[in-house]
């Protein structure tokens, strides 16, 4: 698969991930976080299982030495990240958590240099920095008073740990890809996440809320299972295998930009010139980072 096709698929995935934020707004007020995460990955696991059987893909059979690998990807990349994220937003602002989330490419690059002996040149550094500035200005609306009021609290530290988990998942995936295909990694990561989160779902007792959940929340869960999860995560693994975790992670900075576009189109939120300027900075940063 050519790099151009990988870039196109990653951009499509970021649109799906941006849509997940809209879907979360329509479902999280009615469905508890553990249950929401469980439903997302349970449905995604079933869909992936169907795809594997229908396409007759040669997926690796699970053996005893494989269990620690998928325990790590399922626990850290899926279960751990989502639990920490949902916990973080209880103690910090949306702006703080989003800005810290935008540091993912930087943390991923650092981990790649340490563990994968990856190299970074001035173009990639400039691209990451420019894209981060674009995200920062997008989330703060270039408002100096918002920037001045930014401070770290308990929620910020939890969010930072969540980002570290997500970055570790990406770097670890690249490390084990000589042994597993992207489909194998994605499927078993989803499966282990679903198993690990089940006790927490039982504790939440979501069956008590069934009568109060609107139909569009169920549609949102199905959307998050198919597009951001099955397609998004699978494309991410393909991208990590071909261009590496550092270059893959920089695409995540496109998510806020697409979230704004989708919010304007679907939720009828307003758009101002500052957002257009910062969107240009983000796109320019991603483009520079992908240039060799």
Structure token digits, residue 97: 């958590």
Name the residue among 227, 237, 256 with its Cα closest to residue 103. 256
Summarised one tens digit per residue, pLDDT across range 137-190 is 776 767 767 666 666 678 878 888 988 999 999 999 989 988 898 999 999 999
Summarised one tens digit per residue, pLDDT across range 55-82 is 878 788 889 999 999 999 999 988 888 7
Q: What is the mean pLDDT of each run of 10 residues along the chain (292 residues)?
A: 88 88 79 88 95 85 92 91 77 67 82 84 81 76 68 78 91 90 92 94 88 90 92 93 88 79 72 72 78 63
Q: Give the Cα separation of 91 and 178 in Å (integer).
A: 40
Query: Where does residue 73 rank: exposed (0-12), middle (13-18), buried (19+ CB within 10 A)?
Result: buried
**pLDDT at position 10, please?**
93
Domain boundaries, the chain: 3-290
At 60, give phi and psi (nearest 5°): -65, 135
Structure token digits, residue 178: 């000589």
């Amino acid at each position: 698969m050519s790099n151009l096709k990988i870039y196109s698929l990653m951009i499509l995935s970021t649109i799906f991930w941006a849509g997940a934020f809209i879907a979360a707004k329509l479902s999280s007020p009615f469905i508890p976080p553990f249950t929401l995460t469980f439903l997302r990955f349970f449905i995604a696991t079933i869909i992936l299982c169907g795809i594997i059987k229908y396409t007759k893909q040669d997926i690796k059979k699970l053996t005893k030495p494989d269990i620690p690998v998928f325990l790590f990807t399922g626990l850290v990349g899926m279960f751990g990240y989502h639990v920490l994220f949902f916990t973080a937003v209880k103690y910090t602002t949306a702006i703080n958590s989003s800005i810290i989330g935008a540091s993912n490419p930087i943390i991923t690059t650092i981990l790649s240099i340490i563990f994968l002996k990856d190299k970074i040149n001035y173009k990639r550094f400039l691209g990451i920095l420019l894209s981060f500035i674009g995200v920062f200005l997008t989330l703060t609306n270039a408002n100096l008073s918002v920037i001045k009021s930014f401070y770290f609290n308990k929620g910020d530290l939890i969010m930072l740990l969540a980002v570290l988990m997500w970055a570790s998942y990406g770097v670890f995936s690249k490390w084990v890809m000589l042994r597993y295909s992207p489909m194998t990694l994605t499927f078993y990561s989803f499966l282990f996440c679903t198993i690990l989160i089940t006790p927490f779902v039982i504790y939440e007792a979501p069956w008590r809320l069934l009568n109060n959940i609107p139909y569009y929340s169920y549609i949102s869960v199905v959307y998050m299972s198919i597009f951001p999860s099955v397609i998004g995560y699978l494309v991410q693994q393909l991208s990590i295998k071909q261009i590496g975790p550092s270059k893959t992670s920089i695409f995540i900075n496109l998510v806020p930009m697409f979230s704004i576009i989708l919010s304007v189109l679907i939720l009828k939120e307003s758009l101002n010139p500052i957002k257009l300027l910062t969107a240009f900075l983000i796109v320019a940063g991603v483009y520079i980072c992908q240039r060799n």
